[in-house]
Amino acid sequence: MKKIICLLFAALMIAAVGRGPVSEKEPVSDIGEDTVKSSDTEYTKTDEIPVLEGKIIVIDPGHGLNNISAYEPQAPGSDITKPAYVSGTSGKYQTEEELNLSVGKTLYTELIDLGAKTYMTRHGHYSQRSNIERAEFANGLNADICIRIHADGSEDKNKSGISVLVPGENHYEGIDILEQSGKAGEILLENLVRYTGAENAGLSVRNDLAGFNWSKVPVVLIEMGFMSNEKEDYLLSQSDYQEKIAEGIVNGLEEYFLNN
């Protein structure tokens, strides 16, 4: 038994000596690996990658003031028409149109700072752009994504939370847009809820919105909360809460573009 142990020991020693020259070379290859490792580490830090740089992003603050009364088809070739301009909901502190513009402008500044080629369908309260024209504006720019910003209202004052609407398949041939919009919607909703602490009111697929059906680029519509809910209406009137919404959108867009 002892002999066997001795033989095994000797064999191990020979093996160890045999590796000697390789071990001596190791520090050299270690240096090489370290260099690669450190640059790899730097590269994988997502917060340092300018993910949004050069991305074409359209912000569409929902609604706008004008005196025009007109109808437009719900989808290309559809007989169903809808009002081209609707005034939106309102809360105790502001109208939805004002809120949408305020958040849109905050988001615009943040995206510009991050190098995104950012456009807004309206910069002021007055706007003659209908829902179809807003979709065509984003199409004309060949936008990487169009973010429509809205807020909800309900007769049920207890209803609250953020939801994101994405286009359904009824009026689409380009399935890529549907998939991309759906993915973006999920990621944005998750980030919005995380950044604001608001209730998750879910993702909903819609086939009835002209602003979706005329879009040829990925598009999502964010319902930032219920202006009919006392607590949420107050939060939506606060600039720090609006900032959280914008940050949630920015982070969501970074996550979306990093993975798509």
CB-nearer residue toward Zn ion: 64 or 168: 64
Per-position x/- string for 210-249, each x denoting binding to Zn ion as judged by CB under 5 A, each - no binding = ----------------------------------------
CB-nearer residue toward Zn ion: 150 or 171: 150
Q: How far apart are CB 193 and Zn ion at their closest, in Å?
A: 19
Q: How far apart are CB 88 and Zn ion at their closest, in Å?
A: 4
122 binds Zn ion (CB under 5 A): no
Starting from the edge strand earliest in sequence, which strands make up the sheet with 117-120, in order?
Answer: 117-120, 56-61, 145-152, 219-226, 162-167, 200-206
DSSP category for residue 86: -
Interatomic CA distance for residues 136 and 219, integer angstroms? 12
Torsion from C-alpha of 8, 12, 14, 15, nearest 10 degrees: 140
Per-position x/- string for 63-92, each x denoting binding to Zn ion as judged by CB under 5 A, each - no binding = -------------------------x----
CB-nearer residue toward Zn ion: 242 or 251: 242
Using an 8 Å Cβ cutoff, are 222 and 195 in contact?
Answer: no
Interatomic CA distance for residues 140 and 156, integer angstroms? 39
150 binds Zn ion (CB under 5 A): yes
Using an 8 Å Cβ cutoff, are 236 and 153 in contact?
Answer: no
In angstroms, the Cα distances linking 258 to 50, 52, 55, 180 are 10, 9, 12, 13
Stretch that binds Zn ion, among 40-48, 130-138, 144-152, 249-257 (CB under 5 A): 144-152
Among 58, 61, 62, 256, contact with Zn ion (rule: CB under 5 A): 62
Q: How far apart are CB 152 and Zn ion at their closest, in Å?
A: 8
Binding region for Zn ion (CB under 5 A) = 62, 88, 150
